[in-house]
Amino acid sequence: MRNRKVWQGAFVLCLLVGGLSGCGTWMHSDKQSVTIFTNPPESAVVIDEYLHLTAPGIVTLSRKGDHLAQVKKDGYEPASLKIDRTWSWWVVGDIFACFIIFSPLCIMHDIDQGGYYTFDDKIYLTLDRRTTEPLPLK
């Protein structure tokens, strides 16, 4: 009977280790949908030189790194915006889990996979009106 309780305890500990390790990545994924708004609307947005959209629009970004958005519209100065990631509240879950299971694996998993981070859900960018038209190329 005592041997059975040891196995049950080991099973519960394994569930804790598996369930709490990398909880940020599990609970809110390694990607995030972000809505981009521009003033004026209908501006062309290119993110990281490969994601194209017309604002306002929604784009799914990897949480593994920061991103760069470049915005253009005729009659306006082009603009760039760095989309920085910040720490997610899931960091608290990782720290709590690591205190329980004494393993840095859960934190390392979320840092590596991006679950440790988050972006603003909505990004706003205003373009400045071009004051002079560029001269045509010959």
Integer Cα distance of 38 and 45 in angstroms: 9
pLDDT of residue 85: 86
* Per-residue pLDDT reduced to its tens digit, 52-76: 899 999 999 988 889 999 999 999 9
Supply the pTM of this predicted model. Answer: 0.67
pLDDT of residue 86: 85
Integer Cα distance of 109 and 116 in angstroms: 9
- Confirm if 97 and 108 have CB atoms less than 8 A apart: no
* Per-residue pLDDT reduced to its tens digit, 78-99: 999 999 988 777 666 666 665 5
